[in-house]
């Protein structure tokens, strides 16, 4: 897979939550391909070390920000008290993603909405 950077006008200041998600997904050496779309959206394809098949994840910057913030507020004090709300939210979101990949059929795209990770039933 080819890793693509955000197009012009999509700098780190415009899509900070998407860029942080991509950074965290790549931390363990996973192959991550990001394809940016309109309305501050991104389609992410995961492969390599993280999964045994390609997984597609789709989100928009405002939805990802809302999900991470809500998750972080709910869990930070109990699970990661030394982290920011956003850091705790990303941690829990990635735990949810790992659980879904390990236990669900992920051949259809997964979505991160304002309420968190959504997967096909």
Q: What is the pLDDT of residues 91-111, one digit of tens each?
A: 999 999 999 988 898 989 999
Q: Are 34 and 3 in contact (CB under 8 A)?
A: yes
Q: What pTM does this model have?
A: 0.86
Laid out side by side, the sheet with 55-60 consists of 31-37, 41-47, 55-60, 110-113, 116-118
Residues of the chain with pLDDT under 70: 1-13, 48-51
Q: Which residues pair with 117 in a beta bridge?
A: 112
pLDDT attached to residue 87:
97
Residues 79-100: b if buried by 16+ CB within 10 A, e if exposed: ebeeeebbbbbbbbbeebbeeb
């Amino acid at each position: 897979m080819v890793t693509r950077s955000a197009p012009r006008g999509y700098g780190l200041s415009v899509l900070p939550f998407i860029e942080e998600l991509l950074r965290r997904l790549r931390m363990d050496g996973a192959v991550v391909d990001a394809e940016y779309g309109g309305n501050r959206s991104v389609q992410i394809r995961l492969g390599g070390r993280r999964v045994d098949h390609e997984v597609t994840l789709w989100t928009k910057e405002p939805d990802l920000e809302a999900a991470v913030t809500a998750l972080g507020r709910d869990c930070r004090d109990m699970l990661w008290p030394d982290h920011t709300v956003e850091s705790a939210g990303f941690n829990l979101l990635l735990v949810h993603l790992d659980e879904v990949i390990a236990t669900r059929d992920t051949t259809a795209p997964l979505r991160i909405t304002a309420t968190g990770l959504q997967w096909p039933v």
